[in-house]
Every structure is written in C-alpha cells, then in structure tokens.
C-alpha cells in the first residue's frame, strides 16, 4: 500500500507519477479531508453569463525546467487542445501596474524604458545596475528580499517593484521573505560573484550545471509562439479534474471526507490512522500543509514536528466581481499595491483582459495576506470583504456600477511564508527524514516553491526517489 495525503495539485500529481512508476503494482490510496479534489484551484463557471471566476491560481508560466515539466504533464493527460496561451504581445503580458500615491503606474516593460524616469520611480532604473556593480559583496547565510534588493539595487526597486511583487507571489511581506529561497539565483550571484549582474552574466555563458531541457510539443510551441502564461479552456480546474479522473481510471482508490489523524512509523512501514481504521503503508507521500503534517506525528518525532510547525501560513480573501460591459480604462494583467500604502487589498487582477468573458468586465480582488487580521480581524464576514472589494474597485478603478455577479471566499492558511531561514529549515527537515530512514516524502507548497510548476515538479521528483 502506498498512501498519498491530500488531494490538491501536489497530491494528485504525486498519485499520477506513482501510477507511472508503480512497477510492483502496489495499491495506491489518496486521502482527502474534504469533498473536493484540486486544493486551492477552483473555477466557478457561470455558463448562463459566459463568466468564469477563479478563486485560486488562474495562469501558469511555461518557462524554465519547471514550466516545461508541467506542459509535459498536460500532454500526458491529453489536455493539449484545452490549453489557452496568452502571448507576450498581449496587453495582459505587457501591461502590469502598481497602485501608489493614489495613481495607477505602469511598470517599465522594455529595454528602452530603463533609461528614463517613470513614476513612481525617482530615477532611471538603469542606475540600479551601476549601484549593484559598485556595491560590495555581503557574506550572509540569508537575508530578507527587501533588504537584499534595497542594498544592491536601491530603495525605489525595493519599495515599488519587489514589495508589491511579493504580495502577488505569496501575499507576504518582502521584509520577512527570504531572498535565498524566493530569488535564490540573485542571492547566489552575489555570494559567488560579488554582484547580481556579474553572476547573471557568467551564468548566461555557463550552462553546464543546468538541468537538461525537457522537450515536448507544448514547450516547443511555447518558445516558438512566445507564450507569456497559459490557462485552460473552462478554467484552470480542468487540470485537477482530469488528473483525478485519470488516476481513478488507473486504479487509485480515492477517499474523500476522511482525514488522517496520526502517523506512526514502525520499522519500514507507516501506520496511518484514517477515520476509525489503521492502514499500514510501505510509504506515505504528504501533500498536506507542513503544520497539518506536524499535528500527525505525535511525540515520536518531536524535532520533525516542531520544525514543520514553524513554517507559517497566511490567509487570503478573494473576491470575484463581474460588471456589465467592458468598462476598464486600462488593459493589462492588473495591479499590485505596495504594503506601505496601508490598503486592505494586495492587488486586483483584470481577468477579462486575459480571457474573454462574454463582453463583461471580470475582476479578482486579492485581500489581506500577511495583513489579513490587521484589516479584517480573526473571523470577518464575507459581506465585509465583498463591501471592501467593491469600494476599492470604485476608488481606484473609478467603476461606479454595481457588479452583476460576485463571489467571495476566505482561503484560510493558503500560502506558506518562506521567511528568512526557510532554506535551512527545509534542509533540516529532509535530513531528519533521511537520517531516520522514514518512509515519508514531502510534497506540496510548504517546502520548495508556492507556484503550480514548483509543486508539480516536486511531486515528480519525490516519486522518482522512492524505491519499491
């Protein structure tokens, strides 16, 4: 018996890769505590209105080893015809904004723009390159992303580019998030070569240490056609839906509305308490959150439980709004808000600029994150979040109309925070598992990346390391 805990994209991907590798025909059981498979990915389709609301992720990047791996998974699932690319020439790819000083400001998007001053930046961005080249190396084990960028590239970049970007990636505070984890290549460039620019230039000419490229039909298409991001026809939920149906067709037993309440490692096996039954597994793949896993370990592995519990998470409120007509004054992906503005929102995504929504303007307002309790308290009503979202849309985007459709969800503890020291914490966690020879693999977003590409690749890598 092989057990997968959690039916989000990490658990579903792990089950898929287990099916491919399972050369001993061991029984595979996937356990999900809710009645829904897909985790934070959820598409709400209003067929009568021609509108799709995404309450979680909505697009995926095609670039890099991780991006190519996900596109290969899409091919394995026979979903190629469902892929909807958004090209680099599209306004949603070219136009991204930040909201500060009571205005929307487009972020520079071309090489030429680096040589001119674009508000809210106070000087041409090219000067940041010279600052990096002239700033001495600082040898540190880790540093906050904000501190790193402020020191090497200047306060302008830290305030108006990095801080809002971190809000968009992990709903977190750049003054807490680890540069070593979220932007490892920049950190390593300084540590090894003394400068971001020098390190990046040297890496451009030294590809020997990089992973071999994954070549597939879709990844080659993405390069040739110059995709920026991609989504799926019918919403991104198409991906976990297909994964869940395929693993079921391949013999994976899926148990919904049941939670694992304890794990006991006995010799070379794991005793999983699921509901009122004990199930013995030769290996467990956990895709549940790190703090959820910590609660299952009891007193037998206190060190591991404590390290897992120290990985923090934040709550995000998501409000989807649909308005009649195409009423946005700007085309683009959307905008983010620097934390120092003191607003309750992280940003607003212009969904109808990315994908057609039957002539309607569809927006997604992201709220709270690291500052959720500050602005909304411990247990706010959805009505409070909805009213706040509509008010912010009115104030910032000057949309006075009332939405014709809306949806509000509170995603409790949905995004892990890779704070300073996260790299070493994950290393200690994995070393403990390896040293104790525990038949346990860790996947999901708690450890090595919050993006869908990162989560899917971690599942594949974890399965590759399991010996049957």
242-289 residue pLDDT tens: 999 999 999 999 999 999 999 999 988 999 999 899 999 999 999 999
Fold of 313-416: Polyamine Oxidase; Chain A, domain 2 (3.90.660)
171-180, 188-197, 386-395, 418-427: lowest mean pLDDT where? 188-197
Helices 452-465 and 64-76 sit at what angle, rounded to 10 degrees? 80
Distance of CA 67 to the CA centre of its chain: 13
pLDDT higher than 80, residue 395: yes
Q: Is the pLDDT of residue 209 over 60?
A: no
* Range with the poorest average pLDDT among 190-199, 334-343, 377-386, 390-399: 190-199
Cα Dmax for the chain: 66
Q: DSSP letters along 297-308, please? A: STTTTHHHHHHH
> Are the beta carbons of 339 and 367 closer than 8 angstroms?
no
* pLDDT averaged over every residue in the chain: 95
**pLDDT at residue 215 in the model:** 83
Predicted local distance difference test score (pLDDT) of residue 202: 83
CATH 1.10.3110.10 domain range(s) in the chain: 121-206
Q: What pLDDT is attached to residue 132?
A: 92
Structure tokens belonging to residue 60:
């995926």
In the predicted model, is pLDDT for residue 392 greater than 90?
Answer: yes
Percent of the chain with pLDDT over 70: 99
Q: What is the mean pLDDT of residues 279-301?
A: 95
pLDDT at 228 over 70: yes
> What mean pLDDT is predicted for residues 191-210?
80
pLDDT at position 467: 87
Give the span between the Cα atoms of 365 and 393, in whole angstroms: 8
Given this model, what pLDDT does residue 217 score? 93
212 pLDDT tier (thresholds 50, 70, 90) = confident
Q: Given a cut of 90, is residue 303 above it in pLDDT?
A: yes
Third-level CATH fold of 2-41+62-83+233-311+419-465: FAD/NAD(P)-binding domain (3.50.50)
Instruction: Kindly tell me if the per-residue pLDDT of 418 is higher than 80.
Output: yes
Numbered ranges of CATH 3.50.50.60 in the chain? 2-41+62-83+233-311+419-465
Give me the mean pLDDT over the 318-343 stretch: 96
The answer on pLDDT for 24 being more than 80 is: no
Strands (E) across 101-163 are located at: 103-106
pLDDT reading at 341 higher than 70: yes
Q: Are 447 and 64 a contacting pair, CB within 8 Å?
A: no
- Rounded to whole angstroms, the Cα distance separating 457 from 10 reads 9
Query: Is 217 within 8 Å of 224 (Cβ atoms)?
Result: no
Give the fold, CATH level 3, of 121-206: protoporphyrinogen ix oxidase, domain 3 (1.10.3110)
Torsion angle defined by CA atoms of residues 377, 381, 385 and 387, in that order, rounded to the nearest 10 degrees: -120
* pLDDT at residue 208, as a whole number: 52
Among 166, 428, 178, 177, residue whose Cα is nearest residue 290? 428
- Distance in angstroms (rounded) separating the CA atoms of residues 152 and 146: 10
């Amino acid at each position: 018996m092989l057990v997968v805990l959690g039916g989000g994209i990490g658990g579903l991907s792990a089950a898929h890769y287990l099916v491919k590798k399972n050369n001993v025909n061991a029984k595979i059981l996937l356990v999900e505590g809710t009645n829904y498979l897909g985790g934070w990915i959820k598409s709400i389709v209003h067929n009568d209105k021609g509108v799709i609301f995404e309450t979680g992720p909505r697009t995926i990047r095609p670039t890099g080893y991780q991006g190519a791996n996900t596109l290969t998974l899409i091919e394995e699932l026979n979903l190629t015809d469902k892929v909807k690319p958004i090209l680099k020439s599209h306004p949603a790819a070219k136009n991204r904004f930040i909201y500060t000083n009571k205005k929307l400001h487009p972020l520079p998007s071309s090489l030429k723009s680096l040589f001119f001053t674009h508000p809210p930046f106070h000087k041409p961005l090219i000067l940041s390159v010279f600052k990096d080249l002239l700033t001495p190396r600082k040898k540190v084990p880790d540093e906050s992303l904000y501190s790193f960028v402020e020191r090497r590239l200047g306060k302008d970049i830290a305030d108006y580019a990095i801080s809002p970007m971190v809000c968009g990636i992990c709903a977190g505070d750049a003054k807490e998030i680890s540069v070593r984890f979220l932007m490892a290549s920049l950190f390593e460039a300084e540590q090894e070569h003394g400068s971001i620019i020098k390190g990046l230039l040297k890496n451009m000419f030294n590809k020997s240490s990089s992973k071999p490229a994954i070549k597939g039909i879709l990844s080659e298409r993405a390069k040739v056609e110059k995709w920026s991001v991609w989504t799926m026809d019918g919403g991104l939920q198409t991906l976990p839906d297909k994964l869940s149906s395929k693993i079921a067709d391949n013999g994976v037993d899926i148990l919904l509305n049941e939670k694992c309440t304890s794990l006991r490692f006995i010799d070379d096996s794991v005793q999983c308490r699921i509901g009122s039954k004990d199930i013995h597994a030769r290996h467990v793949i956990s895709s549940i959150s790190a703090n959820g896993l910590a609660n299952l370990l009891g007193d037998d592995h206190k060190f591991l439980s404590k390290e897992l519990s120290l990985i923090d998470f934040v709550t995000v409120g998501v409000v989807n709004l649909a308005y009649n007509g195409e009423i946005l004054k700007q085309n683009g992906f959307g905008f983010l808000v620097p934390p120092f503005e003191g607003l309750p929102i992280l940003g607003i995504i212009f969904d109808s600029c990315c994908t057609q929504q039957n002539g309607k303007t569809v927006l997604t307002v992201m709220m709270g994150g690291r500052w959720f309790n500050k602005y909304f308290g411990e247990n706010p009503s959805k009505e409070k979040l909805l009213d706040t979202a509509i008010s912010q849309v009115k104030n910032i985007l000057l949309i006075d109309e009332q939405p014709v459709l809306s949806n509000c969800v509170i995603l409790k503890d949905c995004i892990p925070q890779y704070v300073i020291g996260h790299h070493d914490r994950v290393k200690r966690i994995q070393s403990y598992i390896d040293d104790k020879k525990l038949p346990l693999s860790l996947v999901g977003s708690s450890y090595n990346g919050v993006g869908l590409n990162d989560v899917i690749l971690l599942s594949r890598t974890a399965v590759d390391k399991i010996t049957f």
